[in-house]
Structure formats: C-alpha cells, structure tokens
Structure 1
C-alpha cells in the first residue's frame, strides 16, 4: 500500500506498492527512508499495538503521520464504529488540537492520517535511528518540558499560558460531545518554540450521545478519577479531574498521584491525598487546582466556569498576542472606527458607541500622526459650566455615564473612572496650615484589568459593562434585577465575564437603567435584566438574570443595539429600526405617523413586548445615522445632518420653540450638519460638524452646561479649548453629561 496525497488533499491508498508497507514519496527532498516505528501504549484495561508511519505529503512536502491500528479481531460493526469515531474526530478544528486529515479501513487496520508534531518521544527515537548526527527537533511533549525543568518551578504566568490553551482545546472537544479520557502531559505536545500546546492522541476518546455517560475504565492510571476507580459512570467531569492533574503537574513538576503499585495508587486517588502546592503561587491558582481535584464530580467546576475564573481572564485574553514563532503585533484600527460605519461627510466628526449616550453610524477621519491627549468634560448635578476632568496623562476616546458612574475607555484599551473624593480623605491639616481646595473629581484606572484590552464601556444606573477587543463581555456593580447576567442577583466589585456568552463574539453592548442588550458578530441579539414594559423584547415582562436570545425577523441583520431607561432599540445593517418597551409620548416612534397630523388616541401605542418596526416618519423613511433615547424623549440624526426629536416636550427638550405636546417627530430648527446627539432626563444635546456643542430643555442644576434656566431653543456650550477640536464621544444620563474631545492636528 502506497500512501500519498491526492489532488484534493485527501490521503489515499495506492495498492501498486507492496501490501503492508508504507512508502515515503521518493523525491530528491526525501529526508527519511521507508521505516516503520512501533510502540506499545499501555491502557488501564488492556494493551494495544499501534504502528506509526511518517509520510510526506506530495502537494507541499509537509510531513504527515499515519497511525495504523490493527483491527483483526474486531467485528464488522466494531470496525464501522471505530471508523465513525474517527469521522467525528475530524470535526475537531482547533489551533490547540492535533489536526486529523483522513481515515480509512484497510483490511486489517484502521489508518488515521494526522498532523505531524515534531519532537515527541516516538519521533525523537526516529531521529536517532535515521539521522544520528542531526540535532534533535525542539518541542516534544509537556511531560518532556516538565522533566527538563528538574526542580526549577515555573512562574505562574507560564503555567497559565499553557493551561488556558489546554482549557480551550478541551472546551472545544466537550462541545462536540466527546470525552478525551486520556488527558495527560504525555499527550500534550509543544511546538518548536515551546509556546503553543496541542492536545493529541484521541485513540480511546468516547463520543457521547446527548448527556450519556461512559462506563469503560480506560486511561493512564495516574490521571484517572475517583469515580473510575469505583467503577461508577462518568462524563466530562473525569476529563476535568485529569485537567486538574495536569495543572498540578505544571505547578509542582511532579504528578499529583504516584505510588509503587496500582492498589496504593487507587488508595491515594480515592482519598484525594497529594502534596501541597508551593505557596509561591497565588491562592487563586492553588484553590483552582483543589476545586478541579474535588472527589465529588458534581463539585468540580465546569469548563466555562474555569474559563471565567479571574485568574484565567488575563492569559485567555492575551493568548493570541503572545504565542507563535514570531512575537506578533496586532495592527488595530482606532476604536472609533471599530464602533461605527461610514458617514460620508467630509467634515464629519468622530464617533461614539451608544452607552447611555447615543448610537452612531459615523466614522472618524483616519489620522496619519499620533493623536494628542484628549480632554473630558462634565456638567450637571450642580456643575453649571463644563468642568475638565483629570486625565492620568492618557487619551480617552469613548465615555459613558450611569446614575453614579463616570467612565471612559483610553486609546490603549484601559478603563478609566472618575469619582468624587471621599469625605474626609487626605492627611489632617497642621495647625496654622492653609487649607487647600479639594478636587471635585479624582481619576483612576480600574484595577484588575492588566493585559485586558477594553473596546467599549456602557453604564447602567448602578452597574457597568465593558467589551474587550476579543468580543468578550464583562459586567460589574449591582446585580439587582439580574442585570449583570451571571445567573444570579449578586453584586460584583470587579469586572467578571458573562459566562453564558463565552461561546459568542460580541460586537457591541448597551445598558439601560437596569437591563442590557448585546449583539454578536453573527447578528444575534441577547437581552437580560429587568423586564418591565417588555423592554427585553422577549414577549413578557419577566426579569432574566442570564442572557436570553431575542427573536428577530429572519431577514433582519442586527448591527447595533440601544437601551433606554425602560425600552430598547435594534438597528440593522440597512438602517432599519426595531423597538420594544415603553412608548409613552411616542418616544420610540411606534405611532403610525406619515405627516404632521396627530394620531387618534385609539392608534397610539403605549408599549410593546416584542421588537416591532418604527412607524413614525421620518424614522421609517430617512437613513438614521445616530440615535439616542432619554427618559421620556428621543433624538435622531439623519444622513443629511438633520436633527429630529420626539416624545415628551414638557420642559422644551424637543427644541421646537414651544412646549406644545405632540407625538409627531419634529425637526429641530436652526440645526444643520449635526453628527451626533444625546438625551438626558429632560434635556437634549447635539454636536455640530465643527465640534459645536448645543443644548436645550431643562436647565436646573447645570443640565445645559451654562448658567441659565430652561431653554426651548438650542444654544451653544463653551468648552475651555484654545485649539480646534473634535468631539469623539458624548453621553447623557439623568441630569449629567460627559463629553470627550481631541485636539485637531
């Protein structure tokens, strides 16, 4: 049998060769002659002989492994079952799993073609036999790597770098309803740079049907779980036990369970007796190992729980920037470009992700030089003119406001927050000392985010969400109404991954007062939190403490999401708008309006529980590029730069010169070339093409950023900027405003 690669890349057999032999392609570049290598793999239940062939792929000369598994004593059904198992293994497609290319049954053997991993024990032997003077390839197994360390313990970052790769690979395997059943450091391979790990040897893996359990006792004795020792059925939790053994081995450079004979080993495993882990490692790492090696399978963490563990977040998020044969530097677009589409206006200003401060379809002009440091201003809550906030020598490109939070994202992807200094903070003054004025706000970077690149932040009333550049969402703050999405109502002080969405790549997230909407790169929308008024779009008014997928029309491609206090919006790639929740004063545009006539009372919509298209012109006919929802009114910006307001006008927040109550959207007179806008509780803000800032509506407690009371007409707000600037982000919430600018170059 001559094994080669066909034109379509599949491994095929050629019976022109001598039966029972495998020949390497005879070319001038051939490095190896036709050799067979045999080794015995000791299983817990029986011995198995596997023959390994090293072949060269004709298409590109790459080396391919062909494993030959004798099946002489198998029945026809068993052979078909074995072949079917390999077909399923082919479905595994993960960078940390040895790739399977092809398999076929050849009379007396099951042949499996797979990726060649240099440096493993079997091929180290091959090198010695065939090329005694050639330097051994680097790489090998994780067991080899650990053995070479002697007694020199690994640092925690290295341990976690290896561990999270194994974790991701096993998560992929379990998602395919496959048990590995022989996870050990000898089956984990390292690349030649000893940075990337790959799980291999699925020879005794078990494919589960639904939530079935496996009963056969297999695997390497030192890694088998207590339930296997007792002959009990098991499922994925036994692989997690083995994963705990691997993590222990990385931390201790020795196996968790070893003994002189099998009965003694079983006794150690059943009692959970192993040497303590060095206290040089963090308490979190040591506790994670203890949790994974819990004697009770039900108390071992699930893989997604391990992935969401605080100690794994940083190595998971940094993983793909640190590995490979060359240290990779990711070319990243400015976050403003990631958060918006094209506007098409030559003088158009930068963009802003809707975070209680608007949703934009605009894009910023590409800068050819490093951006200067920006300024962030705030007003409201008694601050009647724009106050420049301390910046920590950084550039803020996006801001968000909650009832109690002021937050921003820096150009480098860090989360910055501004807080009022605590009462009585600082050193007591000495007698006779001049009392210094205390700053109104202090700034700090959020702790615990080292190595995590934040893409955007969105604030609710008492909680916040942040989205990483890897599409992972983290939430923290008050857990009331389940708005954190962690499956409970508990408060969280530091950002924690929303585990239920780990399998998705999130594009954007928006917070209301106590609910959240998120959209994935596959156009799926999820909602959770408080459900009053149908704001979650799930057809009920129930609260949900974990993400729920929202049903949308089949032809609707969700692009952005937007949360108001008690309502929600989803905007499509075609600028169509769906809304749900409280439509009081027609603030969502659900009333069917085609001109300036008021709809009759029986045609007025007060609330909807599922997402429905807007019905009020111009929202349903114009191309809306920016939109925001306030407490009782909304504002929208068209592609032409026109500004429309709709909803309550009790305090002149619609900007239509009068306080006439109307459910008909009105164009704000005197405003042209508007690029973005935002709504507070009873006031409105708009940004002009040259960076002008206009406000109108309720003026109490500094809402309008100038020393005057209510104004039904837009008037300018003066910022303390001596150079031309661009507004990059704006957010309004309740009676406050937060605005970020960058100086033009």
Structure 2
C-alpha cells in the first residue's frame, strides 16, 4: 500500500472492505477492495480470484476499469477505477417522485446495454446486475458497471446452476432452479430499465416467498403513460417469463428506440471538435502514392522492407507480401499444398492437426480453422488416376469475439485452445470426456473448462482421447480416457473432468505431450517423465544396461531409464502411434520405439527396442520434430524440412517410396522461409512458415 494513501472506507461487503484511496504518484483517486484471504473458505477464495480474473478480462468505457491487484497483510487488494457520482440506485432515490425524461432513461440504459454486450462477448455472465452495481461519473451522465464478485466466466452456450444475485432481480428460471444463462442477465437488465422508468423496482415484496411468487407470475405495475409505447414494449419483452422469448442483446440494439439513443450516444459523447481548416491526410501525396488507404514510399516498395511490401511483376502498384504460408501434405496429398489464409497480413504462429481438424493461432490471437470445401471439388472422370486435390477454405472460430487465443492443440475430433489469460476452452467430440466439461456431450463452440478457472493454464496437449494441461505454478491436470495409465493418475480409469496429477519430487513440469496411449512431460531441467503404454520401448522405460529389463506400461509419471536418453537435456518431444522423437538443447534428434517402416531414421528397419541419434547433413541443427503413425518430420534451424519413414498416402510430402533416412522436402520455387510451427496427426502434416524477410525474423 506504499503507493496509495487511504482516505476513507466507502463500503463493506460479504467478502471485505472498500476503501477510497489516493495514488501518491499522480494524486488520482482509486477504489481498493480489501479482501482477507487467510480465513476464507475455498469457495470464498475462488470468488475473490474470480473477480480479479473477470476484471482483468474487461476493457470498456462503461465498465469500472481494473488497475492491479496485490497481497498485503494477508489480504487481496484489488485496485480499480473510482466513480465519483455514486450508484445509479442512489441517483434514482434522490429523484423522489420526479420521473426521468425518456431521453435520459435511454441514455443511461444504452450505456449499460453496451457494457453488458462487452461482458457477454468475453463469455462472462454478470449474474448480479442491479442499480446498486451501476456506477456514475461525477457529472452523472456516464455509466460504469461494477462489482463482478459473483460473475461467471463461461462460453456463450454454458450455463450456471448456482442461484446468485439480488432477489429482486433474479429471473423466473432461477426461482425454478433452472440453469442461469445470458437471458437471465437480460431479465436483470429489464428490471434496471423498469427502475429507470418508474423509480421503483419491478418486483418487491415483504418476504422471499411472496417475492418469488410475484416474479413467477411476472406481474408488475405499468410504467407512466407519459413514456412512449416503444419503451413499454421493450420492458415487457425483456421481462418475458419465457427466457427463449426474451430478446438477445443484438436484438435489443436493433430496436428503433435503442438505435436512436445509440446514435445520439456516439455523436454526443464520442464527438471531437474539428478545426475549421484541416488538410486531408492524403491530399499532399501524388495520386500514384495512394492505394486503399495505405501509404507507400520508395523505401517500402522493396521486398524485405519493414512493411512487407513487394512490387508486382509489372512494376506497378506494390502488393503486400504474405506474412505466413501454411503447407499441408499426407492423407492423399503427395506433395505440400498451400492452404489459404484470410488476408495477406495474417501471420500464423502455431498450427495443430488432428484426425479431421486443421487449426492455427494467428499473431493477433485468433483461432483459424481450415476445412475442405464442398464447393468446387469436382470428381475426376471414371477410371482416371489423376490425384484430385481438395479445395480448402479458412475461417475463424465462431464465438471467439473478445477472446485472445495464444495456443491450440487438436485431438481426435476435438480441439483445445488457450487464451492469453490462462483460460482453457475446448470443443468438438465429447467422447471419453476429453472436453473436460464433466459430461460426454459434444460442443460445437469453444466452451470454458470451468474446473480450471481458478488456475492459469499455460500449456495444453491433446492426445487421441485424453488431455493434459500445465499451470503457471507447474501444476498438472489430466482427463479423458485412462487406458494403460496414460493419465498418470495411478489408475486406468477414465475421467470427464480435470484431475490433479502428482509429479515426483524434485521435478517441475515445463511442457507436456500426449500420444495415442501415453504421455510425456518435459521438466524444467530437461528430464523426461513418462506414463502409459511402453510398447516397443517408445517411452524409454527399458533398462538396457548390464541387467536388461523391459517394461510394458506405467500408471504414474516415471523418469526414463534407457540410455542415452536419461543423460540428455531434452528441449522438445513428439509422440507418434508407436515411436517417439526428442530434440536436445544441442539441436540433436534422437528417436526410439517401433522401427517397422524406418520411422526412426536410423537407416535400417527392425524391432530392437533401441534408441539412437538421427543423422542429418553436417552442420544441421534441429529445432523441432513431429511424429505421425509411421513417419517423422524434423525442422532445421535454416528452414529445412526433413521427413522419413513410410511414404504411403503422401506422408513424406513427396512421391518416393519409403525411406529410412532423413530426406529434405521440396517446396518448389518458393522463397526461403523459416518454420514457425509443425504438427503431425495419424497420416497428415501441417506446417506454418514465414519469409526470411519478415521484419521479426532474426
């Protein structure tokens, strides 16, 4: 608290005390919520953590701004914006019986609407929207929503079953014990609009049973006749007993009475005084220098410049150089095929592929998905042996508005993605409980794994039918199918929600890698911890020393035994169906497991359960590696891409037969590039590259 000076206590709540403080550096007034954590129950502690998490996710002019949090005197301190105008409830109380003008009602309402739209776009339910939690600025013309202590971070289709919120604002479905969703927030917003119009609550009673009865009947006094019929209809629609018949936020925004107020809001609050004479930004430039609103100079017209601009073949207008190229091969594609990206300035920094999915993460935090188009894929003539190349289309993940994705991993018909706030979301097939939602239900849009909301997840890996995640505190959780002990839980049982995994001392998990029936953790010190099926010694659990010993499977994470694996400092790992590859801190690649098709790259074929180093051209350093079912792909530090193993169905990215040593993949006449990410599934490979001339290349 040395940065702040306490002025006075402005409120006390169930979880703590609210102080008005002054920041010493600039004398700015702030609110600090002091929440004692030492004596809290687990649920209370989770509520405090949740408020910080929710506040840090929100950034909107009509939402109380979050500044920071810190621990002091065994209490959590949450620093946030101070609204000098007090609460909307206090403002309405001061009005007595003097009703607000309809223009002012709508002015305050649309700001609340915009704030709630931002909250829902972040996949959050407020769950306690009321006039006491709506704050005002000093002039009392700007709304600020606050108090997110019991908010719930959810996806757009998730539901919360906990009955929360102030009784006067709870919806009929909550009174019946039904799930809470966004339509319950709409009901509360309708209660707020009614209160703005009548200066009293829509539903009030002497006791809770009587209040519930009123809410269930949906009976309330009509608003004053001096207000428009459109306002009355809007209130009635938001307070409909059937949540399915209440409008969505988008539908409310589309109402003419609301559109007009939104326009007034943007042209009033958002207006900027413009000097009488302002030179247009492009007016001083020659016509040839202006193109689609972008500025070009002679310097930016050359390939490799900071703006990634190249001249077209005719020497005319410059065109942007693609920041990323995505290649795919295998599963019938005999050579690398370029996948489309949405725009030339889309830069893909990571890719992952599953049985059917192809996904990537862009630099600006969007999840891009590639699918085979059903349009334009004409079948070949009967008897033709010509390869039919499918047409791929790229699209961004739906329902991701306002969420920044930083990591993605694809399993068998399901996908997990991680936000920059450490929140894990999954979607796709719910078989084996792989989605971690506590059910086996399929989910079409990304839904938050609620069991992990109290943790900051930093990495997730999807196997064929199980998932493992790591938090910033090196905690490990696993769920999904448990055969062979692949979850590391000392059991073969399956789990449909995340379970904590015990990691042997003194190891700390750095990264995790899931295979078909096993899992591998790379520790902070570069050691491998493994669990699951050790078929063909693909986990390195065989003791090949003086007294050889073979291990079939282990059900808890165990350090590797086989030499020289246990002596190496491992940087990254890839697991195939029956073999494994690792990259060391020296840029060397070692492989072990099944070698039936030469997928180990040792130049021979055989099943001897031994491991060895893969030989590449002299001077080659390997940065990353990926394994499919019977093949392997490795990435060199100079942008080289090598593959080896079984060549059927284009696994190796070329039409040659199976080879037992690394051979470089040919990408045609494309410009030199570096690889940003590589991923292999059962029979296909996905590769993301960026040009050497990219401004952030070394």
Instruction: Indicate if the aligned counterparts of 1:486 and 1:499 stay in contact, CA closer than 8 A.
Output: yes
Q: 1:697 to 1:450 in 2, by over 3 A?
A: same
Q: 1:645 to 1:495 in 2, by over 3 A?
A: same
Instruction: Indicate if the aligned counterparts of 2:87 and 2:135 stay in contact, CA closer than 8 A.
Output: no
Q: Aligned residue for 1:692?
A: 640
Q: Aligned residue for 1:160?
A: 117
Question: For the residues of structure 2 that align with 1:629 and 1:496, how far apart are their CA atoms?
Answer: 27
Q: Aligned residue for 1:247?
A: 189
Q: How far does residue 581 in structure 1 lie from its aligned partner after superposition?
A: 0.6
Aligned pairs for 1:14-163 (under 5 A) are 94=52, 117-120=83-86, 148-150=104-106, 154=110, 156-161=113-118
Aligned pairs for 1:103-502 (under 5 A) are 117-120=83-86, 148-150=104-106, 154=110, 156-161=113-118, 184-190=130-136, 194=142, 196-199=144-147, 222-223=168-169, 246-250=188-192, 258=202, 268-269=214-215, 271-273=217-219, 290=243, 372-393=322-343, 394-422=346-374, 439-502=390-453
Instruction: Indicate if the aligned counterparts of 1:257 and 1:273 stay in contact, CA closer than 8 A.
Output: no
Q: Aligned residue for 1:583?
A: 534
Question: For the residues of structure 1 that align with 2:660 and 2:117, how far apart are their CA atoms?
Answer: 58
Q: How far does residue 720 in structure 1 lie from its aligned partner after superposition?
A: 2.6
Aligned pairs for 1:510-589 (under 5 A) are 510-589=461-540
Question: For the residues of structure 2 that align with 1:56 and 1:461, how far apart are their CA atoms?
Answer: 54
Q: 1:534 to 1:64 in 2, by over 3 A?
A: closer
Q: How far does residue 635 in structure 1 lie from its aligned partner after superposition?
A: 0.6
Q: 1:447 to 1:266 in 2, by over 3 A?
A: closer
Q: Aligned residue for 1:664?
A: 610
Q: How far does residue 440 in structure 1 lie from its aligned partner after superposition?
A: 3.4
Q: How far does residue 706 in structure 1 lie from its aligned partner after superposition?
A: 1.4
Q: Aligned residue for 2:58?
A: none
Q: How far does residue 724 in structure 1 lie from its aligned partner after superposition?
A: 1.7
Q: Aligned residue for 2:679?
A: 731
Q: How far does residue 617 in structure 1 lie from its aligned partner after superposition?
A: 2.8
Q: How far does residue 484 in structure 1 lie from its aligned partner after superposition?
A: 1.1
1:608 matches 2:554: yes
1:400-431 CA deviation, whole Å, 9 max, x = no partner? 1111112222222222222223278799xxxx
What SS class does the counterpart of residue 146 from structure 2 fall into?
Answer: strand
Question: For the residues of structure 2 that align with 1:53 and 1:122, how far apart are their CA atoms?
Answer: 19
Q: Normalising by structure 1, report the TM-score.
A: 0.61
Instruction: Indicate if the aligned counterparts of 2:377 and 2:391 stay in contact, CA closer than 8 A.
Output: no
Question: For the residues of structure 2 that align with 1:242 and 1:702, how far apart are their CA atoms?
Answer: 52
Q: How far does residue 667 in structure 1 lie from its aligned partner after superposition?
A: 0.6
1:679-728 CA deviation, whole Å, 9 max, x = no partner? 11011111112111111111112111111111111111101343221011
Q: Aligned residue for 1:334?
A: none
What SS class does the counterpart of residue 154 from structure 1 fall into?
Answer: helix
Q: How far does residue 619 in structure 1 lie from its aligned partner after superposition?
A: 2.8
Q: 1:578 to 1:145 in 2, by over 3 A?
A: farther
Q: How far does residue 271 in structure 1 lie from its aligned partner after superposition?
A: 2.7
Q: 1:265 to 1:387 in 2, by over 3 A?
A: closer
1:304-337 CA deviation, whole Å, 9 max, x = no partner? xxxxxxxxxxxxxxxxxxxxx99xxxxxxxxxxx
Q: How far does residue 535 in structure 1 lie from its aligned partner after superposition?
A: 0.7
What SS class does the counterpart of residue 674 from structure 2 fall into?
Answer: strand
Q: 1:376 to 1:59 in 2, by over 3 A?
A: closer
Question: For the residues of structure 2 that align with 1:166 and 1:649, how far apart are their CA atoms?
Answer: 47
Q: How far does residue 516 in structure 1 lie from its aligned partner after superposition?
A: 0.8
Instruction: Indicate if the aligned counterparts of 1:154 and 1:251 stay in contact, CA closer than 8 A.
Output: no
Q: How far does residue 267 in structure 1 lie from its aligned partner after superposition?
A: 5.2
Question: For the residues of structure 2 that align with 1:84 and 1:477, how far apart are their CA atoms?
Answer: 37
Q: Aligned residue for 2:455?
A: 504
What SS class does the counterpart of residue 526 from structure 2 fall into?
Answer: coil
Q: How far does residue 386 in structure 1 lie from its aligned partner after superposition?
A: 1.3
Q: 1:710 to 1:555 in 2, by over 3 A?
A: same
Q: How far does residue 121 in structure 1 lie from its aligned partner after superposition?
A: 6.4
Q: How far does residue 514 in structure 1 lie from its aligned partner after superposition?
A: 0.9
Q: Aligned residue for 1:353?
A: none
Q: 1:562 to 1:278 in 2, by over 3 A?
A: farther
Unaligned runs of 5+ in 2: 13-17, 33-38, 56-63, 71-79, 151-161, 223-229, 247-268, 271-304, 309-320, 380-387, 694-698
Q: How far does residue 249 in structure 1 lie from its aligned partner after superposition?
A: 3.2
Instruction: Indicate if the aligned counterparts of 2:422 and 2:457 stay in contact, CA closer than 8 A.
Output: yes
Unaligned runs of 5+ in 1: 13-21, 23-36, 42-51, 67-82, 102-113, 129-142, 171-179, 203-212, 294-324, 327-366, 428-436
1:72-94 CA deviation, whole Å, 9 max, x = no partner? xxxxxxxxxxx999xx9998974
